[in-house]
């Protein structure tokens, strides 16, 4: 379903970034719209927008892939005490919005199906942005705070990727999709997550059958199973977050009990790889998350999985062989 919220999430959380302006811009827009405003000028947006970018530059000097940016230079100047606040705000109005107002509503190169504002910068009587109801509803929804937290998490991830040169795929082992709330949740601690939300997300793919024995799963319903054991996280685990969707399947109770804290036999693992590839290729909502967690191409995902399996079985050598009739190759 295309909703104002899912499109907003797609704009802010997914997609390529050449600068982090959209995070600051999105956060500022939500804050303004939350106050019930329907029109805002660049002069009104500038202080908060610039503040967010100044804070970000203190965290991480690289906020753009471009070699230079006059606007970011102004923010740096303010941080260094070389520019006063009024000058920063004036420069922000002049320089800071030039691309982001046009670029923000773009999704994969075309206009997003939901519009949040109308660009009225050229309206001489009342210049600025007309904030549409879609934005007000989003800003005043119960999920607005989550969007804010997700934006902040995504922003830090992009910064980290640029600063380290490591792709975000490696850095985002713990971005999980909660299908109950349809949220991406960034997990920073090795704490067991509430994984019940993945049932809805995965049950369609498994067609009500156990991922291991391939038998129909009886009520009261499937169990969310960590393929590579969750217990790894209590050890000095160096692999990807095993408490994430790429490593979760639905299983019947007997298989869950029999498997316990063991990885499945390696002959079963291609099923998981195929499952993840199928979800990605079918443009499932989990597509982006799975790619971020395990790799953008099938070859990278294959390598990620193999390495994770190798490390898991080094740490916990005992493996469990699923029953006959199972998905083994
Ligand atoms: Zn089973």
Would you state the pLDDT for residue 191? 46
Locate 196 and state its tokens. Answer: 């019940």
Between the CA of 320 and the centroid of ligand 1 the distance, in Å, is 12
pLDDT level of residue 234 (50, 70, 90 thresholds): confident
d(CA 278, CA 202): 12
Q: How far is the CA of 213 from the centre of ligand 1 (A)?
A: 4
**Cα of 219 to ligand 1 centre, how many Å?**
13
CA dist 246 and 141 (Å) reads 30
CA dihedral 209, 214, 215, 219 (to 10 degrees): -30
Q: What is the mean pLDDT of residues 162-169?
A: 54
What is the Å distance from ligand 1's center to 8 Cα? 39
Whether the predicted pLDDT of 229 surpasses 90? yes
Q: Where are the beta strands (DSSP E) in 41-143?
A: 106-107, 110-111, 117-120, 128-131
Query: Crossing angle of helices 269-281/198-206, nearest 10°?
Result: 100
Question: What pLDDT sits at residue 327?
Answer: 63
Proportion of the chain above pLDDT 90, given as a percent: 44
| pLDDT of 103 above 70 | yes
DSSP character at residue 67: S
Q: What's the gap between Cα 124 and its chain centre?
A: 39
Maximum average pLDDT range among 3-7, 47-51, 313-317: 47-51
CA gap 254, 21 in Å, rounded: 51
Is-contact 71 92, C-beta < 8 A? yes
Bigger pLDDT: 327 vs 186: 327
8 Å CB contact between 95 and 74: yes
CB distance 301 to 273 below 8 Å:
yes
Q: How far is the CA of 329 from the centre of ligand 1 (A)?
A: 16
Q: Supply 305's token pair.
A: 């999985």
Query: What's the gap in Å between 259 CA and the centre of ligand 1?
Result: 10
Confidence of residue 19 (pLDDT cuts 50, 70, 90): confident
How many angstroms separate the alpha carbon of residue 218 from the centre of ligand 1? 10
- Average pLDDT, whole number, for the chain? 82
In the reported structure, the alpha carbon of residue 258 is separated from the centroid of ligand 1 by a whole-number distance in angstroms of 9
Does residue 153 or residue 291 have the better pLDDT?
A: 291
Over 50: is that where the pLDDT of 227 sits? yes
How many angstroms does the Cα of residue 265 sit away from the middle of ligand 1?
A: 14
Kindly state the tokens that stand for 269: 């693992």
CA angle 84, 104, 174 (to 5 degrees): 95
Residue 228: name the closest of 215, 243, 213, 214 by CA: 243
- Distance of CA 328 from the midpoint of ligand 1 (Å): 13
- Show the CA angle centred on residue 79, arms to residues 73 and 84, nearest 5°: 90
pTM exceeding the 0.85 threshold for the entire prediction: no
pLDDT score recorded for residue 171: 42
- CA angle, 89 then 91 then 94, to 5°: 115
Question: Cα–Cα distance between 321 and 255 in angstroms, integer?
Answer: 10
Dist. CA 223 → ligand 1 center (Å): 10
Q: What is the pLDDT of residue 217?
A: 82
Mean pLDDT of 115-124: 94
| Sign of the Cα pseudo-torsion (53, 54, 59, 62, in order) | positive
What does the pLDDT average to over 135-149? 86
| Total residue count of the chain as it appears in this document | 329
Cα angle: 12, vertex 110, 127; to 5 degrees: 75
Task: Report how far ligand 1's centroid is from the alpha carbon of 231 (Å).
Answer: 20
Higher pLDDT, 241 or 171: 241
Predicted confidence at residue 235, as pLDDT, reads 79
Buried b (16+ CB within 10 A) or exposed e, 19-57: bbbbbbbbbbbbbbbbeeeeebebebbbebbbbbbbebb
Higher pLDDT: 305 or 185? It is: 305
pLDDT at 182: 47
- Please tell me which residue, 305 or 208, carries the higher pLDDT value: 305
The whole-number pLDDT of residue 313 equals 94
Q: Ligand 1 centre and the CA of 34: distance in Å? A: 48
């Amino acid at each position: 379903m295309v909703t104002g919220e899912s499109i907003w999430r797609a704009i802010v959380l997914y997609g390529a970034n050449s600068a982090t302006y959209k995070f600051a811009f999105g956060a500022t827009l939500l804050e303004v719209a939350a106050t019930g405003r329907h029109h805002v000028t660049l002069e009104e947006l500038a202080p908060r927008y610039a503040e967010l970018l100044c804070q970000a530059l203190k965290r991480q000097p690289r906020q753009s892939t471009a070699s230079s940016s006059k606007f970011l230079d102004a923010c740096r100047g303010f941080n260094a005490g070389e520019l006063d606040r009024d000058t920063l705000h004036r420069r922000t109005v002049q320089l800071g919005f030039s691309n982001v107002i046009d670029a923000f509503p773009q999704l994969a190169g075309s206009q997003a199906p939901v519009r949040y504002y109308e660009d009225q910068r050229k309206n001489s009587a009342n210049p600025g942005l007309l904030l549409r109801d879609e934005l007000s509803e989003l800003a005043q929804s119960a999920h607005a705070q989550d969007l804010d937290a997700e934006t902040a998490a995504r922003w830090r991830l992009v910064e980290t990727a640029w600063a380290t040169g490591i792709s975000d795929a490696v850095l985002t082992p713990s971005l999980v999709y909660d299908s109950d709330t349809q949220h991406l949740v960034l997990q920073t601690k090795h704490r067991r997550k509430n994984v019940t939300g993945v049932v809805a997300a995965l049950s369609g793919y498994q067609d009500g059958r156990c991922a291991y024995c391939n038998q129909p799963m009886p009520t009261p319903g499937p169990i969310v199973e960590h393929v590579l054991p969750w217990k790894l996280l209590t050890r000095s685990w160096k692999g990807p977050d095993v408490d994430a969707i790429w490593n979760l399947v639905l299983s019947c109770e007997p298989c869950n009990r029999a498997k316990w804290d063991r990885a499945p036999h390696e002959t079963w693992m291609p099923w998981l790889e195929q499952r993840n590839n199928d979800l990605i290729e079918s443009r499932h909502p989990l597509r982006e998350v799975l790619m971020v967690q395990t790799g953008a191409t099938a070859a990278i995902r294959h390598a990620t999985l193999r390495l994770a399996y190798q490390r898991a079985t080094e740490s916990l050598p005992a493996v469990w062989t699923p029953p006959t009739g199972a998905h083994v190759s």
